[in-house]
Structure 1
Amino acid sequence: MSDNHEKSSSTPNKSSLSLQGDCENCFGLCCVALPYAASADFAIDKDAGCPCPNLQSDYRCGIHDSLRQRGFRGCTVYDCFGAGQKVSQITFGGRDWRGAPESAKLMFEVFPIMRQLHELLWYLNEALTLPSASPIHGELAKALGETERLTDLDSGSIMELDIAAHRAKVNDLLLRTSELVRAEAIRSQKGSASRRKTYGRGADLIGAKLKGADLRGANLRGAYLIAADLRGADLRGADLIGADFRDADLRGADLTGSIFLTQPQLNSAKGDASTRLPKSLTRPAHWSSSGK
């Protein structure tokens, strides 16, 4: 469900598959496998396994240039972390669900599991780039290798995975990574920590007025930041894994050095040219180009 539902005739090899959605090499899996309900994000209801009416026979989206204007904002927010092309081209060997309808149901069930695994790969790869987490880089690398191995299983084996147990194991490492990184961020603040507010995991910050807030090294894991005013806030070193940024105002905010932030989170927020982002992420096309 991204803005880029173009498809090419080239099939990538395994090494070229990334952790970002590549709609050109996917069979529109997010547009079929996933359900959605009529809301501010979607103009209509759709059941799981039912193709979106905007999905064309070549797996292109018929309205990808005007998704937001047509009431499908949710499509522009979603990213599969590369699970779509992995399932399409590797797990099912390039056999599409229309050409091989007997595989459709299994493909649609494997896709959300693969998406979870690829999201974990995103976090683990990031954790391994963080100098503060060097004491546990060995454990992180081992978890990365194990997660990669799971993504290479056949479809039947993927369906038998205890994905919740694997997520819990990886999450323990990500928590330890967070503690190391945030501790370093707080130590570097040179006495300003006394002016910082602290928030617990899953904090309710819906609509919070946090303009200019010093949130360096903050624990915002799973925080509800829906429609929060974060203009000019300093989020360097903050743990943002799972934080809900829907309609949060990030204009002028500094997110460089924040950890576990993903493209879908940014896509759901509001920002502009003055919002500072980690190098691994891109400025959403719908953000304002002004710094006002």
Structure 2
Amino acid sequence: MNTLFEPDIDLSIFKPYTIDCSKCCGLCCVALYFSKIDGFPDNKNAGIPCNHLQHDYKCKIHSALSKQRLKGCMAYDCFGAGQQITSHLTEPPNWKALSPKEAKTIFDSFSTVMQVHQVLWYLTIASTLGLEKSEKEQISLLLNQGKELTSQSLEIIQNMDIKSFREKSSLVLRKICLNIADKFSNHGKSDSNPNYMGRNFKQKNLIGKDFSMSLLIAANLEEANLLGANFLGADMRDTNIKNTDLSHSLFLTQIQINAAKGNENTVLPPYLYVPISWQH
């Protein structure tokens, strides 16, 4: 088995869940709580604009994030929720003049859409796999349901209960993960204690390895064989993936890649991009 994916994937299906700051009004820099200890410029309460956010919604220190080692800013990704919410707004917001009610509607909707888009990202990856017809149909139904949820007005999205959608999606994704793990025999089985912090897996055969929801902080995966390895929800902060082929690994997100340590020889799936921090 040298691939799990369907041939000729249409990469445009990932675009709605891929961050595009040029089409966003700086939502992440306003809506979220920041902490210096987590790699952000300052301590900041949710709902307060970052001091470095300019009137055109661009970051004043964006080009210096890597130099200043602001890992929180560099790793963050909203799964395209920022541009989705911005597209609902009739005019660019003045964050300092916005009424508390208006701000709450926008921020709550942003949080909801981000959660839905994260699930849609995983479902979109699943849709590219060589699955059974029944699994494909389940994925398609959930994708349509998620898109319908986020296409409504902000007033509806703000108070939307997405628990059922997330639970149904989680069950389908988990079943898919287990089925794929079975194809790799013993390689795909998860450990009872998925804590791999600092573990050295350099050049190891990790075909089909189930790393889902595991701690991979500062683990070494350099040159490991990660064909079919499942990274759904894994914490990959400072994980060494230099000189590593991840092109056929499963359920990776841009946040994980941004937080990891790679280089020009790291091979990513075609729907992910190389972080600027790797180029320094």
TM-score range, shorter chain: 0.7 to 0.9
How many percent of aligned residue pairs carry the same amino acid? 35
Moved over 6 A (4+): none
- Contact between 2:182 and 2:188, CA under 8 Å: does it hold in 1? no
2:174 equivalent to 1:175: yes
Q: Deviations over 1:200-232 (max 9, x none)?
A: 377111001111122111111111000001111
Structure-1-length-normalised TM-score: 0.84
- Contact between 1:133 and 1:180, CA under 8 Å: does it hold in 2? no
Q: 1:149 to 1:62 in 2, by over 3 A?
A: same
Q: 1:202 to 1:165 in 2, by over 3 A?
A: farther
Partner amino acid, structure 2, of 1:257: H
- Deviation of 1:242 after TM superposition, in Å, equals 0.9
Partner amino acid, structure 2, of 1:93: T
- Contact between 2:14 and 2:124, CA under 8 Å: does it hold in 1? no
- Contact between 1:34 and 1:48, CA under 8 Å: does it hold in 2? yes
Inter-partner Cα distance in structure 2 for 1:165 and 1:240:
23
Alignment of 1:140-151 (within 5 A): 140-151=139-150
Question: What residue is the counterpart of 1:244 in the other structure?
Answer: 235
Structure-2-length-normalised TM-score: 0.88
Partner amino acid, structure 1, of 2:140: A
Q: 1:277 to 1:211 in 2, by over 3 A?
A: same
Alignment of 1:34-183 (within 5 A): 34-90=32-88, 92-98=89-95, 101-102=98-99, 103-183=102-182
Inter-partner Cα distance in structure 1 for 2:97 and 2:182:
52
Q: 1:254 to 1:71 in 2, by over 3 A?
A: closer
- Contact between 1:127 and 1:133, CA under 8 Å: does it hold in 2? no
Partner amino acid, structure 2, of 1:269: A
Partner amino acid, structure 1, of 2:278: W
- Contact between 1:97 and 1:104, CA under 8 Å: does it hold in 2? no
Q: 1:69 to 1:101 in 2, by over 3 A?
A: same
Partner-residue secondary structure (3-state), 1:270: coil
Q: Deviations over 1:61-111 (max 9, x none)?
A: 001000122342211111111110110112x33442449713222211211
Gaps of 5+ in 1: 1-14, 188-192
Question: What residue is the counterpart of 1:209 in the other structure?
Answer: 200
Which one has the bigger helix percentage? 2
Task: Give the aligned CA root-mean-square deviation in angstroms.
Answer: 2.3
2:234 equivalent to 1:235: no
- Deviation of 1:265 after TM superposition, in Å, equals 0.4
Q: 1:16 to 1:41 in 2, by over 3 A?
A: closer
Inter-partner Cα distance in structure 1 for 2:245 and 2:221:
10
2:252 equivalent to 1:261: yes
- Contact between 1:42 and 1:74, CA under 8 Å: does it hold in 2? yes
Gaps of 5+ in 2: 1-12
- Contact between 1:30 and 1:84, CA under 8 Å: does it hold in 2? yes
Comparing 95-104 and 211-220, the one that deviates more: 95-104
- Contact between 2:230 and 2:250, CA under 8 Å: does it hold in 1? yes
- Contact between 1:215 and 1:235, CA under 8 Å: does it hold in 2? yes
- Contact between 1:32 and 1:52, CA under 8 Å: does it hold in 2? yes
- Contact between 1:37 and 1:46, CA under 8 Å: does it hold in 2? yes
Larger RCO, structure (CA 8 Å, separation 6 or more): 2
